[in-house]
Amino acid sequence: MEVGCQSMVTPIRKLLLKHPREAFLDPETVQAQWQALNYVDCPDYEKALQEYDRFVALLQQFDLEIFFLPPHAQTNLDSIYVHDPLLVAAQGAILCNMGKAARQHEPAAAAAFLQELGVPVLGAISGEGRLEGGDVLWVDEHTLAVGRGYRTNDEGIRQLQALLADTIQELVVVPLPHWNGPGDVMHLMSLISLIDHDLAVVYSRLLPVPFREWLLARGIRLIEIPDEEFESMGCNILAVAPRKCIMLEGNPQTRLRLEEAGVEVWTYTGEEISRKGAGGPTCLTRPLLRR
């Protein structure tokens, strides 16, 4: 199976998802797990199914093929956020090693399904290395920015760089803020989403100054999200193609700023599948092929 995804904005052709039917399983499982996983509230199972079906219908407007991960006995509610356990480079998939202990079985579960699809696995982050997909940003085909925080550590970044030695020319490490501590979700992509090769949505108040200056020096225009739309994941945006994006409903100022920059924006309701688990449209999706 052809794969390759060394971009955040080139049109998505193949996409991996996991439906809440397979991640949440049933209302009893949701009730039993949500607090231990640090969800802000208990997702409503039936509403989650409805929200997700509408999200999938939104994605199906674009010229892409969707694959759904099956249920797995050792994963939990968080496995709906398929972006984090995998990276996909030109040579194949890289299995992450999750910084959140409760998600440790997700990479292996995804790998088993990738094998069925015929997707090659380039390697895996192992041992003391920690790496989550939400911390890895393809700035261009040969340039990576990687967030160093509570979910991704120095050893994980070192292993990633070694696995991609023949592919990347530059890797920029971006120190992440403490924010709400180790129990919270703070990925690099909590602070930046690329919308086009030369356009990004950012929350500059939490970006390190050297990284922000580096982005500007590369000619990337920055659209700032307002303070009141940071917690509602206004910065977590999925580019399905250059200047065509999907974002969580309820961030009107960010949407307006995007549209003023010539971006086409689609929104979805994600109270159950996004807000309660702190995972936006990027988190819900793992592109397998962009071209």
pLDDT at 120 over 90: yes
User: What is the tens place of the pLDDT at every residue in 179-217?
Assistant: 998 888 899 999 999 999 999 999 999 999 999 999 999
Mean pLDDT of all residues in 257-265: 98
Q: Which two tokens stand for residue 44?
A: 């409503």
Region for residue 111 given its phi and psi (left: phi exceeds 0; alpha: psi -120 to 50; beta: otherwise): alpha
Mean pLDDT of all residues in 138-149: 98
Helix (H/G/I), strand (E/B), else coil: 37:
coil
Which CATH superfamily is 12-290 part of?
A: L-arginine/glycine Amidinotransferase; Chain A (3.75.10.10)
E strands, the chain, where? Answer: 12-17, 65-68, 86-89, 92-95, 121-124, 136-140, 143-148, 170-175, 192-196, 199-202, 221-224, 237-241, 244-248, 264-268, 286-290
Q: Measured between alpha carbons, how far is 256 from 262 in angstroms, rounded to an integer?
A: 10
- Residue 274's alpha-carbon distances to 6, 11, 43, 58, 179, in angstroms, are 25, 23, 9, 15, 20
Q: Which two tokens stand for residue 43?
A: 């997702």
pLDDT confidence tier of residue 174, bands split at 50, 70 and 90: very high
User: What percent of the chain is predicted at pLDDT more than 70?
Assistant: 100
Q: Measured between alpha carbons, how far is 172 from 159 in angstroms, rounded to an integer?
A: 14
Helices assigned H by DSSP within the chain: 20-23, 27-33, 45-59, 106-117, 154-163, 209-217, 252-260
Mean pLDDT of all residues in 154-182: 96
What is the domain partition of the chain in residue ranges? Answer: 12-290
User: What is the tens place of the pLDDT at every residue in 220-245?
Assistant: 999 999 999 999 999 999 999 999 99
Helix (H/G/I), strand (E/B), else coil: 112:
helix
Q: What is the pTM of this model?
A: 0.97
DSSP state of 132: -
Measuring CA to CA, which residue among 65, 66, 61, 85 is closest to residue 74? 85
